[in-house]
A and B are shown apart, each in its own frame.
Chain A
Amino acid sequence: MSHLLHFAEHTLQEVALLIMAIVYTTRLIWLMRFKAGKERQANTGKGDTSSRKGIIYSWANIAMPWAMESSRKKFFLYSQFVIFHLGVVAAIGLSFIIPYAPQLLGSQVLVAVLQVIIGAACLIGAYRIIRRIASNYMRAISSPDDYFSLVLLTVWFFFAFWSVPNNTSGGETILLIYFFMTAFFLIYVPFSKISHYLYYPFTRYYLGKTLGKRGVYPVRRYSEEARS
């Protein structure tokens, strides 16, 4: 292993993680400085719901594609969302496995699983780029950051896919690109829309709290099929 690759796998990642942690913490402090709105009213609704139930339901919402009309009706988009995010988890995980537990990649099964997930995420990324450019609805709501973040992740998936076997016999270029991109990704994330997962627990917490208190969450749904 070259010094450069060793640097990229270790020092560079650690510095990038540190920067990300500092920026994230600052971001959280910034968010917490805004006062949370107080709710004085007594619960409404059927009486069998509460803020707590609403919060749990709200957090779990993302894992319940049937819970929202949007994910029910756009199940293809929802499935893409799941695979894409699994791809992010796998590609990030890879950046820890390679430097700290490379022996795990001796398992052909793990290599195959990671490659399938990351490969699928890469294809979905490509599809999402096309969708964002081709749909006038998506174009209308897209900023340069939206395009860049998507392209960044898709290209990163591409190099992560080829890095999974952690094989330097054909040269280190792929691994170097993957680790440099990972570091860039970690530093860039807090400044971009990719930081949404930082806000996700908060937005869903507050929406769940309000709608739980008012008996809206969990949503009662009686589908067309249930018509008697």
Chain B
Amino acid sequence: MNSTRSHKAQKVLERMGKKLNRQIVGSFAACVHCGMCTDSCHYVLANPGDPTYAPAYKADKIRKLFKRHFDWTGRVIPWWVNAKSVYTDEELEELKDTVFGKCTNCRRCSINCPMGVDFATFNRMARGLLVSVGIMPEGVAVVSKDQWEIGNQMGVLKEDYIDTLEWLSEELVDEFGDPRAAIPIDKKNADIVYSINPREVKYDPRTISDAAKIFYLAGANWTMPSEGWDMTNFGLFSGDDDLGGAVARRLYEKVEELGGKKLVISECGHGYRSTRCEGQNWAQYDLNFEMESSVTTMLRYIHEGRIKVDKSSNTDPVTFHDSCNNARSCGLTEEPRELLNLVAEEFREMYPNRAENFCCTGGGGAMSMSEYTPRRLKSAKIKADQLAATGAKYVVTSCHNCVDGLSDLIKHYKLGMKVTQLVNLVAEALVVPEKETAVPVEEIPAAAAGPLDGYKILVVDDEPDFVSFASAILEDHGASVVNAFNGNEALEVARRESPDLITLDITMPGKDGKQVFESMRKDPQLKAIPVCIITGQPELRKLIYDRSVPPPNGYIDKPISEESLMRNVRKILEIKQKATK
């Protein structure tokens, strides 16, 4: 039989033997096929009648290999216990579909199994085995590669990261009229080293400046590292312990190099779990500093009176979504609620909650696996119903992955809710002491000052409503705006008008945004014009970033607000200015 087994199948089996530990073997051996866990999985609930989503069914796809090769009954009478081996790459591809595409490793079935079978843990192991032979969804390969090679999972370059921090620092210094409000980079012996998710740099810099405001007003002795700042860890999702260990080690070593006393991890479920818990095991690293979630830090600052908050700044009803990694793998359930009650007037609990909450469906790296998007969105019905039942306007979550997952499902199910994080609400509720209030040198309202005076911006989108909305905002801020409603028109207008910036939709009839973008980047006349992608389909980001041309200069998810559009446009134009100086 061995001679007919593919090289990859052979490797998977060999490596499986090395990965087995007592916990995993126990979980393989203990399942009695009672079916108690079936209804705990959101995939099952959203696909009634389809047993292939049942946790025990999915688990058996991996368990059969264990039984066939490592368990005596399965070795002697395999058919009796459904023990089976794997021979071909096609079979491994099928396994990939299950372990990556039908499970978010949310661990909800694990806490509902009377036998204590921890399926999520051995599902991760199976992912790692497949990854080790190069079988994985493309998105997993891309993100893992970025994290191995560039040091963060979104491929953010060091200069972009530093640029963003400097730009945010300038804004903070302006806002508070105090140079101490700037973000300290690589400060030695700080009490706090603050680590973030690269998504914050790329799509949500407001979370960084909100955190910086909080640290500043709390008078914290803090810093952000210039390298080793990414607290996310794709090793958790891909099951690759080597990647997990390398990423965690990078972060830990940087904190030690800076002599930091505590590593504070910004709001991110898998980042918190990977950095705070699993990373030390993967990296076999014993730490000499403490770590905590920024949620705990913010709460402590309020308790200690270092910052003051006024919940009347957040009057809309809010609910809280527990990230699976925070709640079911790290026990971070009470602090966020306590904090939320301090900064928002109306907190509405969702049910079930805490460790029993349902996955946002974007977990386990699902947001990077675009091939499974329809399946993910279908299973998101369970979460959508949970959210809708609260009647809240905002869903708050302490996880960037969940922000993306929830935003996507809210759009898909037309729930009309907004997603935000605790750091944003805390920053919103901050009471700035008089002495700290900056008196701007020139008090000119942003709009009246026309910060975009003299800039010409091309807005490309096939939705006329969006074009009018974005154009009105840009014109209100002083820009002259030209429009295009499809790809060909966009290229034509861009060549004719030579704008300073192009905002580009990805999905358009005819020549779509991806092709237009590539054409622009390859066109000598247009290639230097900054492009900001604006799309309602965040899962398509990858298609843009994967192109062999320089990446776009900015990225905004629809629906956009005036604030997000202006922040991104200003940032891109400032960067352009610096580059041309």
Q: Give the docked Cα–Cα distance between A208 and B114 (Å).
A: 12
Q: A34 touching B25 by the CB < 8 A rule?
A: yes
Smallest CB separation, A181 vs chain B (Å):
19
For residue A3, which residues in chain B have a CB less than 8 angstroms away from its CB? none
| A 39-77 contacts with B by CB, 8 A | 39-42, 44-46, 49, 58, 61-62, 68-71, 73-74, 77
A141 near B354: Cβ-Cβ < 8 Å: no
B285 adjacent to chain A (CB < 8 Å): yes
Q: Is the CB of A219 within 8 A of B356?
A: yes
Bound Cα distance A210, B111 (Å): 12
Would B40 and A44 count as touching, CB distance under 8 A?
Answer: no
Query: B21 contacts A35, CB within 8 Å?
Result: yes
- Among candidates A62, A69, A138, residue contacting B352 with C-beta atoms closer than 8 Å: A69
Task: Return B336 CB to nearest CB of chain A, in Å.
Answer: 12
Interface presence of B561 (CB below 8 A): no
Q: Which of A35, A138, A227 contacts B22 (CB 8 A)?
A: A35
Q: Which residues of A contact B291 (CB under 8 A)?
A: 42
Q: Is B81 an interface residue (CB 8 A)?
A: yes
Any A CB within 8 A of the CB of B327: yes
Q: Is the CB of B334 within 8 A of A222?
A: no
Contact of B30 among A30, A36, A45, A203 (CB under 8 A): A203
Q: Quick one: closest B residue to A43, CB to CB?
A: B331
| Cα(A144)–Cα(B83), bound, Å | 11
For residue A146, which residues in chain B have a CB less than 8 angstroms away from its CB?
32-33
Q: Considering the chains assembled together, what is the distance between the CA atoms of A74 and B40 in angstroms? A: 11
Q: How far is the CA of A61 from the CA of B36 in the complex (A)?
A: 14
In the assembled complex, the CB of B577 is this many whole angstroms from the nearest CB of chain A, namely 45
B284 / chain A contacts, CB cutoff of 8 Å = 40
**Cα–Cα distance between A222 and B356 once the two chains are bound (Å):** 10
A-contacting 9-mer, from B274-282, B466-474, B528-536, B552-560: B274-282
Residues of A within 8 A of B391 (CB): none
- Chain B residues numbered 270-318 whose CB sits less than 8 Å from any CB in chain A: 276-278, 280-281, 284-286, 290-291
A50–B290 Cα distance when bound, in Å, is 18
Contact partner of A142 among B24, B33, B73, CB < 8 A?
B33
Interface SS of B by simple majority: helix
Q: In the assembled complex, how far is the CB of residue A84 from the closest CB belonging to chain B, in whole angstroms?
A: 10
Q: A69–B112 contact, CB under 8 A? A: yes
Given A35-B22, A141-B57, A220-B334, are A136 and B51 neighbors across the interface (CB < 8 Å)?
yes
Contact of B281 among A37, A70, A135 (CB under 8 A): A37
Complex contact A214–B330 (CB within 8 A): yes
Tell whether A219 pairs with B22 under 8 Å between CB atoms, given A74-B36, A214-B329.
Answer: no
Asked if B35 is at the interface (CB within 8 A of a chain A CB), the reply is: yes
Known A-B contacts A58-B116, A140-B51; A206 and B22 likewise in contact (beta carbons under 8 Å):
yes
Q: What class of interface size applies to chain B in its complex with A? A: 35 or more
CA–CA, A139 to B50, complex, Å? 12
> Which residues in B have their C-beta under 8 angstroms from that of A32?
22
Interface segment among A13-21, A109-117, A157-165, A190-198: the answer is A190-198
A residues 95-148 touching B (CB-CB < 8 Å)? 135-146, 148
B115 engages A45 (CB within 8 Å): no
Q: Least Cβ distance of A103 to chain B in Å?
A: 36
B23 x A61 contact (CB < 8 A) = no
Q: Is A207 an interface residue (CB 8 A)?
A: yes
Q: Report the minimum CB–CB distance from A170 to chain B (whole Å).
A: 36
Chain B residues with CB under 8 Å of A193's CB are 31-33, 81
- Of the listed residues A74, A202, A203, A220, the one surrounded by the most CB atoms of chain B closer than 10 A to its CB is A203
- A142: which B residues are within 8 A, CB to CB? 33
A132 to B376, CA, bound (A): 29
| Cα-based distance from A77 to B37 in the complex (angstroms) | 12
Q: Which residues of A contact B (CB under 8 A)?
A: 30-32, 34-42, 44-46, 49, 58, 61-62, 68-71, 73-74, 77, 81, 135-146, 148, 191-193, 195-196, 199-200, 202-204, 206-208, 210-211, 214-216, 219-224, 227
Q: B: which residues have CB within 8 A of A?
A: 20-27, 29-40, 49, 51-52, 54, 56-57, 60, 72-73, 79-82, 110-118, 276-278, 280-281, 284-286, 290-291, 327-335, 349, 351-356
State the 8 A-B residue pairs at the shortest beta-carbon distance, nearest first.
A215-B331, A45-B331, A140-B51, A203-B116, A204-B116, A143-B82, A199-B30, A70-B112
A73-B39, A196-B115 known; 10 other A-B pairs, CB under 8 Å?
A30-B72, A31-B22, A31-B25, A42-B290, A70-B36, A145-B81, A191-B73, A202-B30, A203-B23, A206-B23
